Amino acid sequence: MRTQVAIIGGGPSGLLLALLLRRRGIDTVVLERRTRAHVLGRIRAGVLERGFAALMHEAGIGARMEREGFLHEGTNIAFGDEMFRIDFRRLAGHGVLVYGQTEVTRDLYEAHDAAGSRIVFEVEEVAIEGADTDTPAVAFRTREGVRRLACDYVAGCDGFHGVSRRSIPADRRREYEKLYPFGWLGVLSETPPVNDELIYANSERGFALCSMRNASLSRYYIQVPLSDSAEAWSDTAFWDELRRRLPAPVAEALVTGPSIEKSIAPLRSFVCEPMRWGRLLLCGDAAHIVPPTGAKGLNTAASDVHYLYHALVRACLEGDEEGLERYSERALARIWKTERFSWWMTMLLHRFPDQGSFELRMQQAELAFLAESEAAQKVLAENYVGLPY
């Protein structure tokens, strides 16, 4: 088997990169460890930056997103019983789109079906060979046996737990990591959202977030200790705890119902440098993770796709490797700023087990300042809607 760009991972990064490259006549093969149904069953991100939406359009799949996505021109921050709004349109010029990662992934798979793309599911024992040579390849096992995919470049889009990052020799990469001492318990329910915009809440019982997928599908999160398990949280216990963390008028307006998905995600900040080793290019969660507080994970994956797509087009169609040589530096420059924003939002809105009374006062003062200062709100708005590529 041979292709120009072997793409490991059929999540949003890998699928979007493959679709963009195909549209420019560059051949790709996507290798995915799971089944398509499994990938589509994962409930993850909900907020898309304008840059992400532009890439969807460029890939020719923006129509349903435009039709069914919700434009959010602001967000709300609650602390205790107080709540204030950050006006994205006024402060940053435009808003964000609420359109779930599940829908993005479905649109991507459908476009690949129509294009007749080669996507191999349930691959095992994926191994990258010769990434530091001019003739790389990816070996993998399917039900039919071991196969070998020769290629010009390998895009490592296989998420945080994939093989790509670990294929870069340990002495050629540097990893930066921060683990937070809590997770997010998320619930999806077929209930109308409590508010027409998101609410991020800092309460003395811990963080809570009110989000949504559409007018009849809500997504809520609460901060929980890492030792908790999702199964141990009954729906009633979840709704009771969520209500306690929201300002009284919001809590009273909350419509509850049975959960249709419930899971706990740990919070982590992580960056691997560099994102390139020879002809292996890392992209998305394979290279970096942010805590979900700023809604940046999927959006950061998309900015990598943007840089990598343009670099690969230049390399494959014009034989010019400058874009690939500078890919890691360009992508990381934006990633570190997004890491900073996600870390800052996380520190601002959560309760920490080791938070002393001074740290608590600092957090309260920062929230009070944010509530009053247009300059501080502008910083948040500029980052939330997405830094330029």
What minimum distance in Å lies between the beta carbon of 151 and ligand RFL?
15
The piece of 64-72, 155-163, 291-299, 331-339 that touches ligand PHB (CB under 6 A) is: 291-299
Helix (H, G, I), strand (E, B) or coil at 4: coil
Is 386 an interacting residue with respect to ligand RFL (CB under 6 A)?
Answer: no
How far is 28 from 19, CA to CA, in rounded Å?
9
Out of 99, 109, 200, 221, the active site residue is: 200
How far is 157 from 15, CA to CA, in rounded Å?
9
The piece of 8-16, 33-41, 42-50, 88-96 that touches ligand PHB (CB under 6 A) is: 42-50
Residue 204 phi, psi (nearest 5): -65, -15
Type and span of the H or E element at 359: helix 357-372
Q: Which does 293 bind (CB under 5 to 8 A by kind): ligand PHB, ligand RFL, none?
A: ligand PHB
Q: Which residues contact 210 (CB under 8 A, 6 or more apart)?
A: 193, 194, 195, 198, 199, 201, 218, 220, 246, 250
Using CB under 6 A, which of 6, 86, 157, 367 touches ligand RFL? 157
E-strand stretches of the chain: 5-8, 28-31, 47-48, 70-72, 74-79, 82-87, 96-98, 118-120, 124-129, 137-142, 145-150, 153-156, 174-189, 199-203, 206-214, 217-224, 259-273, 276-277, 280-282, 288-289
DSSP 220-250: EEEEE-TT--GGGS-HHHHHHHHHHTS-HHH
Q: What is the dihedral of CA 348, 350, 354, 359, to 10 degrees?
A: 30
Question: How big is the chain, counted in residues?
Answer: 389
Is 291 an interacting residue with respect to ligand RFL (CB under 6 A)?
Answer: no
Is 152 an interacting residue with respect to ligand RFL (CB under 6 A)?
Answer: no
Is 162 an interacting residue with respect to ligand PHB (CB under 6 A)?
Answer: no
Is 338 an interacting residue with respect to ligand PHB (CB under 6 A)?
Answer: no
Q: Which does 123 bind (CB under 5 to 8 A by kind): ligand PHB, ligand RFL, none?
A: ligand RFL
> Structure tokens of 215?
């007018």
Is 159 an interacting residue with respect to ligand RFL (CB under 6 A)?
Answer: yes
Using CB under 6 A, which of 69, 74, 95, 292 touches ligand RFL? 292
Query: 336 vs 47, 183, 343, CA distance in Å?
Result: 20, 22, 10
Q: Which does 33 bind (CB under 5 to 8 A by kind): ligand PHB, ligand RFL, none?
A: ligand RFL
DSSP 8-state class, residue 9: -
Is 178 a residue of the active site?
no
Closer residue to ligand PHB, CB minimum distance, 69 or 156? 69
Closer residue to ligand PHB, CB minimum distance, 117 or 383? 383
Closer residue to ligand RFL, CB minimum distance, 89 or 262? 262
Out of 292, 309, 327, 350, the active site residue is: 292
Using CB under 6 A, which of 74, 136, 292, 386 touches ligand PHB? 292
| # residues contacting ligand PHB (CB under 6 A) | 10
> Structure tokens of 314?
């230049």
Using CB under 6 A, which of 1, 23, 34, 50 touches ligand RFL? 34
Is 77 an interacting residue with respect to ligand PHB (CB under 6 A)?
Answer: no
The piece of 88-96, 109-117, 233-241, 298-306 that touches ligand RFL (CB under 6 A) is: 298-306
Is 200 a residue of the active site?
yes
Using CB under 6 A, which of 6, 21, 31, 367 touches ligand RFL? 31
Is 72 a residue of the active site?
yes
Cα 69 from chain centroid (whole Å): 17
Residue tagged 């009954």 (tokens): 234
How far is 350 from 221, CA to CA, in rounded Å?
12
Using CB under 6 A, which of 5, 16, 31, 47 touches ligand PHB? 47
Helix (H, G, I), strand (E, B) or coil at 318: helix
How far is 108 from 19, CA to CA, in rounded Å?
8
Query: 175 vs 226, 289, 328, 340, CA distance in Å?
Result: 23, 11, 14, 16
Using CB under 6 A, which of 8, 97, 157, 295 touches ligand PHB? 295
Is 193 an interacting residue with respect to ligand RFL (CB under 6 A)?
Answer: no
Q: Report, as residue numbers or ranges, the catalytic residues.
A: 72, 200, 292, 296, 384
Binding site for ligand RFL (CB under 6 A): 8-14, 31-34, 39, 44-47, 101, 123, 126, 157-159, 161-163, 184, 186, 265, 284-285, 292, 295-299, 301
Residues found near ligand PHB in the complex (CB under 6 A):
45-47, 198, 209, 211, 219, 292-293, 295
